[in-house]
Every structure is written in C-alpha cells, then in structure tokens.
Structure 1
Amino acid sequence: MELAWIALGVFILLAYTLEAITGFGSIVIALSLGALLLPIELLLPILVPLNICMTGYLSWKYRKLVDRQLLFGMILPGMAVGTVIGYAVLPIIDAQLAKRGLGILILLFAGRELWRLRTAAISSARPLWQNRLITVAAGICHGLFASGGPLLVHALAGNTLDKSRFRATLVCVWFSLNALLTLAFIVDGRIYPTLPQVLFYAPLLVVGVWLGERLHRHFNEQYFRIAIYSLLLITGCLLLIPR
C-alpha cells in the first residue's frame, strides 16, 4: 500500500501539471491511473479538494481572462444541474459500465477532432440546444466521477477562445463544481478520513502549477489544440481499462 500511495503522488503531479497547461484533465487522469492501485471511492475525496486548491488559485490569477458570458450563460447552469443529478444517481448505477461508455465517447470525439486538425477541417457550430444538452451530460459525468472535462470540451469545440481564455474559463468551472462536490463530501462524511492524504499531497500542487504555467506560455495555439485532443485520447483509453 505504501508503494500505491507513492505512485498516486506521481500521478497527481503529472495530472495537475497537465491541468495547469490545458485547463482540464487533472482528476480524470489521476483517477484513471490511481484506480489501478486504489479504490475509486477513496480517491475522489482526495483529488477533488486538491483540485479546488489549484483551480481556486488559477481562477483568481486569471479572472480577467474568463469569458463570463460563456461561463454563466451556458456552462455553469447546465454543469451544476448535471453534477447534482450525477451525484444523486451514483449509488444506483453500474459505475464501471458508465465509465467505459464515457471512454468510448471520448475516444470517438478526440479521434474525430484530431483528424479535423490534420486535414485542416473546421468544426461546424452546433445549435445552442445541443451544446446545452452536452453540457448537462458533462455535469452528470462530473457528479459521477468528478471528470466532466472531456464532454465539456466537446460542447465547446469550435469556440473562438484563445488558449489563455479557454484555460481561465475552464478552471473557473472546475473550482465552482468541485467546491460543490467537496461540500457534499463534507456533508456525507467521506472527506474526513482522507484529510491526511490531502495535506500530504498538497505541496505537489505548487510544483504542478509552476511547471504547467511555464509550459502553457510556450505552447503554440495549434499544438495546444492537438495536446488537448491527445490528452482526451489517453483519457478514453484509461477509462476502458478493465478494473
């Protein structure tokens, strides 16, 4: 078990560095890797509070870059409703089946977008109602596994935000929703046994943000998009790994 906790520290450093670069992916990557060694129900009360520490800092630092109309007009309302639904139905669904279904969806989406980037095709704009439905679905995934990022990126495909505004807007989403989940973990008592691990891994956030900030500044816009969809491919594969 000691080796498992050390490995989890490595996964957390990698995952939170990636989120500091792209604006999403920390929990789904750390959760997918960590679940190879530790129970998911033990991991979530550790990863979610760590995430609000990092995203809270980034949200405040880059608050002037946030697209508030997109954040409050489309993303947060749908994501919040979906998160509540996902948290409520978690005890009555087959979690492994749901994760594999999400993994397939992510692989299809990421593969399609990478192909479009390679062929210089332009993502066609979807009707607003479709994006709202996808956003609610992303919230449900977030309520289930604190991993709504891939579907939310799908809903935002074709947006005109540059990489800095894209990241700033996303970290505000995760700060808001993961604060809600952390409150739920406090109410249901799941967070208290994991507080020592949260404090133990907290210094890794400083290293992850430091690395991610430097890498983010040097990312070419096209390479940034490729990095996002490549990260989604990896995520989809991890979600399909039998537990």
Structure 2
Amino acid sequence: MMTFLLTGIVVFLTHTLEVITGFGCTVLAFPFVTWILGIYEAKILLAVLTWILGAYLVSTKFRHINWRQFGIIVGLVGLGMPVGIYLFNHFPSDTLKLLLGIFIVCTSIMQLKKEYGGIQLRVTIPEWVYYMLLVFGGILHGAFATGGPFVVLYATRKLRDKGEFRATLSLLWVSVNTFLIATDATFDPLLSNIAAVATQGAAMGQSLLNLVWSLPFLLVGILIGEVVHHRVDAALFRKIVFWVLLATGVFIILAHVLHIG
C-alpha cells in the first residue's frame, strides 16, 4: 500500500505540472518512480499515464494544435526513437543521463536569465541545431520515455502561445507513446495482462496494478492543473516552463549521483 501511495503522490505532483505546461511529468517523475518501482515498471507506468493525459488534452484542446509545427516535431522525434529503444535494451545509460541533466541545467539557467532580463542572448543559433535537438529528444524518448526537455527547447522558440504549446506537445506525446507502447518489448507484459484480464478474467499483474492505483491521482492532477493553467499569463507561463526544465535537469543529476534509476 505504501508503494502505491508514494507512486500516486509523485504522479499527482508531476502530472499537475504537465497539465499546466504541456510537458515535464515523465522526466520529473522518472527518478522517483524508478526508486519506488524499478526502471522497467517506471518506464511502463509513466509512458501509459502520459499517453492517457495527452489523449485528454488533445481531445479537449484540439483547436489549439499547430499542425505545421507538430509535423516537424513528430517527424524528427520519430527518427530518433528507434535508436533510443535499441540503446535502452542494449547499453548502460548512466553517462547519457548525466550529460543530459547538465545540458538541461545550463540551458535553463540561460533562458531564465533572459526571461528575467538578466542577459541578452546575442548569439544566433542555426536552425539545424534546433532540428537536431528534436532528433536527440526522440532518442531519449525511445530510451526512457523522457525526451521532453530537448523538445521543449525547440517548442519554446516556435510555439509562443501557451495554448498552442500545450496542445501541440500533448499530441506529440500521444503519438510517440503510441509508437513506443506498440513497438517496445518492455510493454509486452502489460499489454498481454490487460488482454488476459479482459478476456479470461485473469488476475492483474504488477504493471496493471500500478496503473490502476495511479489513475485517481492523475485525475486530481488534471483538475487542479486545468485551473492553474487558465490563470497564468503568457510571460509567467514561459518562466514556469523554464523553472520546470531547470528542476528536471537537477533531478536527473541527483538521480545519477544517488544512483536512483
């Protein structure tokens, strides 16, 4: 029971942030849920919950989707995902996650200084660099279902409206997690158990139990997140996005140092 409760609290806090901003729940929750459930169960649970949350946001915010940017993002993220799935199943990931955390922290601090008027970034970054961020985001999403930080660095430049930002990224998470769940063998036990429960009345396995217990916490997170999202203006929204991104990087580094996940 304590395991379910701790997981639920993490799901509630991180998915509330996801509803507010359109990203962040998986990468913020991943170190903690890995510590509680293990890396494979964490990947399964968080990918499915993100799919469910994304489906809700897409169905209710459909008119805000920027289809041109969605096409660019999903195409380039999709290129990287098969590489990430392969890496997750065949290679150690500690060094990759540490470098990711350091990169996110440095980038977030620069962006926050810019948002608060502390510095003016005068360096012109070539367009292809932003496109490569999407490919790297796809690799990370295939490996850990946590490719959001790289995608957000691109999206904050191209999707200035907070409604567009949230709706477009939500459609992305639905799309890439559908591919991930359908093609990654990590999810086979959950899918086969759901089929057995539905057709044979079999008992729920660990992955399905984790999911069922987490759904009420997800629902409460959706309700609270929706209220907060509509009360935040565009300038504050961008600051929240980069603060969440900074917290994401810090959590990734701490997870590496503390050997969590």
Q: Distance in 2 between matches of 1:111 and 1:35?
A: 26
Is the contact between residue 65 and residue 168 of structure 1 (CA under 8 Å) also seen in structure 2? Answer: yes
Equivalent residue, structure 2, for 1:77? 75
Is the contact between residue 123 and residue 158 of structure 1 (CA under 8 Å) also seen in structure 2? Answer: no
Q: 1:160 to 1:52 in 2, by over 3 A?
A: closer
Deviation of the 1:188 alpha carbon: 5.6
Q: TM-score, normalised by structure 2?
A: 0.86
Q: Kindly name which structure, 1 or 2, has the bigger radius of gyration based on alpha carbons.
A: 2
Which residue, 222, 226, 231 being the options, matches 1:218?
231
Is the contact between residue 78 and residue 176 of structure 2 (CA under 8 Å) also seen in structure 1? Answer: yes
Equivalent residue, structure 1, for 2:214? 201
RMSD over aligned CA atoms reads 1.8
**Stretch deviating more after TM superposition (201-210 or 58-67):** 201-210
Q: Distance in 2 between matches of 1:162 and 1:24?
A: 15
Is the contact between residue 85 and residue 143 of structure 1 (CA under 8 Å) also seen in structure 2? Answer: yes
Q: Distance in 2 between matches of 1:204 and 1:40?
A: 20
Task: Note the residue ranges of structure 1 that are not aligned, 5 or more in a row.
Answer: none
Q: Distance in 1 between matches of 2:122 and 2:73?
A: 19
- The DSSP-based 3-state class of the residue aligned with 2:36 is coil
Q: 1:4 to 1:123 in 2, by over 3 A?
A: farther
- The DSSP-based 3-state class of the residue aligned with 1:37 is helix
Equivalent residue, structure 2, for 1:106? 104
Is the contact between residue 116 and residue 123 of structure 1 (CA under 8 Å) also seen in structure 2? Answer: no
Q: Distance in 2 between matches of 1:79 and 1:150?
A: 12
Q: TM-score, normalised by structure 1?
A: 0.92
Q: Distance in 1 between matches of 2:122 and 2:49?
A: 34
Q: How many percent identity over aligned positions? A: 27
Deviation of the 1:168 alpha carbon: 0.6
Q: Distance in 2 between matches of 1:174 and 1:132?
A: 18
Equivalent residue, structure 2, for 1:184? 183
- Per-residue CA deviation, residues 193-231 of structure 1 (Å, 9 max, x unaligned), is 411211221122221111111000001211111111111
The number of residue pairs the alignment matches comes to 241
